[in-house]
Structure 1
Amino acid sequence: MPSDFRIRAYVPADLPAFRRMALGLQQAECRMESNRAVWTDDGGAYSDWVLDEVAMHSGAIFMAESADGSAIGMVSCWRAEDATDITVRPEDRAHLYVGDIFVVESWRGRNVAGALLAAADAHGRSLGLATVTIGLLAVNQAAWRAYEKSGFEGYEVYLRKRL
């Protein structure tokens, strides 16, 4: 890992930075997709929901911080199970779900996302899981490239048509 940043586990003091990053992610998605909600609480309700998901489903949040201790990125992940998906073998229904990943703009392109995803992968392995899933908006080609660089490949694709 580069020496100009490090990845560490989330601590409660990270909540303001985590909320800013969750809000930044939502604002970016609002620019890409017209159906995204505009949050009026600076990401508070969503961040609280993520913290609950992490707590209830063997999850983790990892923070990226620069050498000076500034928060520069985050990833949230938790154990998920597609219990009702009878098209998948029962033993393959559990997976690690990456809920959010965000890197501040000035740090993008420096493998911060890759290091955050590696931390999520390690968490998934510690839970005995064999797969990690992540979603993205189809128009977000930068995220798609970053995820492919970290070993993700297409699995299921949903198409949409506006009426």
Structure 2
Amino acid sequence: MSASFRIRLYAPTDLPAACSLLNALQEAECAMESNRAHWPDGAAAYTEWMLSEAAANKGAIFIAESNEGAPIGLASCWRVEDASDTTVIAAARVHLYVSDLVVVEQWRGRGVAGRLLAEAERHGRALGLAQMTIGVLSANDAARRAYAKAGFEDYEMLLRKRL
């Protein structure tokens, strides 16, 4: 694993970098999935929503940056309680949800995603949570491999039929 980057908490001065990283994530998903929208505002509205969700739900946003200070990745996570899921025990309805994880292309495969996920896991443990979840497009093989390497396993699948 490379030691040429560090993970730290998001700061308000990271707003332009967060927008850029999240817009890049959305554009990558647009290439994989036809129902994804291109954001004309460069992810400004989504980033504000993400920040408010994290603030309202005991969340955290982590920034990965090179030793030179360039932003190279981001992870956002927050506490979620799904009271409507009566099929599981009550304690399993509360978890840490990783909403976004993105690493710039030239830094992929160097342990950045794993370190961001480890920080999210530490945050979830500090909240006393017993599990964390993350979503992934089924076509995103690279992300699925990274998540499996970080210890995630298939839990539930949503199947789709186009009409």
> When the two structures are superposed, what TM-score results if normalisation uses the length of structure 1?
0.98
Which letter maps to 1:119?
A: E
User: Deviation per CA, 1:78-97, whole angstroms, max 9, x where unpaired?
Assistant: 00011110001011110000
| 1:135 matched residue in structure 2 | 135
Q: 1 CA distance for matches of 2:79 and 2:10?
A: 17
Q: 2 CA distance for matches of 1:114 and 1:18?
A: 18
CA shift for structure 1 position 2: 3.4
Which letter maps to 2:160?
A: R
Q: 2 CA distance for matches of 1:91 and 1:65?
A: 35
| 1:125 matched residue in structure 2 | 125
CA shift for structure 1 position 42: 0.5
| 1:101 matched residue in structure 2 | 101
Q: Which runs of 5+ in 2 are unaligned?
A: none
Instruction: Name segments (4+ residues, structure 1) moved above 4 Å.
Output: none
| 1:79 matched residue in structure 2 | 79
Give percent identity, aligned residues only: 60
Q: Does 1:8 align with 2:13?
A: no
Q: 2 CA distance for matches of 1:161 and 1:144?
A: 22
| 1:60 matched residue in structure 2 | 60
> When the two structures are superposed, what TM-score results if normalisation uses the length of structure 2?
0.98
| 1:44 matched residue in structure 2 | 44
In the alignment of these two chains, the number of paired residues is 163
Q: Which runs of 5+ in 1 are unaligned?
A: none
CA shift for structure 1 position 38: 1.2
* CA RMSD of superposed structures (Å): 0.7
